[in-house]
Amino acid sequence: MPNSKKNPATDTLLGKSPENSSVNMSEIVLPSDTNALGTIFGGKIMNWIDIAGAIAAGKHSRRVVVTASIDALHFLAPVKVGHVVHIRARVNFTSRTSMEVGVRVDAENLITGETTHTATAYATFVALDDYGRPTPTPPILPGTTDEKRRFEAAKKRRESRIQLAEVLKEHFQS
């Protein structure tokens, strides 16, 4: 694994703090990003979520990553043309080759200074080796109370995703 640091004594990947994967992006909402009501297309926000999540997962794993799923995406408030969208992402949980990234989206009205929480999502990314195959990713080492809470919640979401994947697999094999 040329891109991953290992503990030479145990030959295991060294863990990392969620803070190491932290990403902050900002984008301005242009007229071409909006619908007839002057509010942003949901797909545009989804695109930015995917980009920020991939950057966070890549920072954590130091690997090329691919999106495995985006779930629990909730649009909480509209975002209008001219607003600045702030996207924050960080890894909450890791399993052997995958990582859950939590993403928060806020919109800022530059004229009034008002900031509104507009969307939240959880995305799963898989780290790939040099041949495009899933490869181990470093464990996440939550330190703060908030990081530990996010880790435990992400573990439960992972269990739900695994169950859903099994149901879908059965359904589509029929």
Question: What's the whole-number mean pLDDT along residues 105-134?
Answer: 97
pLDDT score recorded for residue 10: 40
Q: Where are the domains of the chain?
A: 6-173
Average pLDDT, the chain: 92
Residue partners of 20: CB distance under 8 A and separation at least 6: 59, 60
Residue 124 has pLDDT above 60, yes or no: yes
Of the pLDDT bands very low, low, confident and very high (cuts 50, 70, 90), residue 168 is: confident
If one counts every other C-beta atom within 10 angstroms of the C-beta of residue 161, the result is 18
Question: What's the whole-number mean pLDDT along residues 145-172?
Answer: 92
CATH architecture of the domain with range 6-173: Roll (3.10)
Scan for tokens 């920072």, then name that residue. 59
Of the pLDDT bands very low, low, confident and very high (cuts 50, 70, 90), residue 72 is: confident
Query: What pairs with residue 63 in β-bridges?
Result: none
Q: Output DSSP code: residue 19.
A: G
Helices (H) and strands (E) counted in the chain, each on its own, are: 2, 7
Q: Are residues 65 and 126 in contact, defined by beta-carbon separation less than 8 angstroms?
A: yes
Residue partners of 89: CB distance under 8 A and separation at least 6: 21, 22, 23, 25, 49, 52, 53, 55, 56, 101, 102, 103, 104
Tell me the pLDDT tens digit for each residue of 8-63.
444 457 899 999 999 999 999 999 999 999 999 999 999 999 999 999 999 999 99
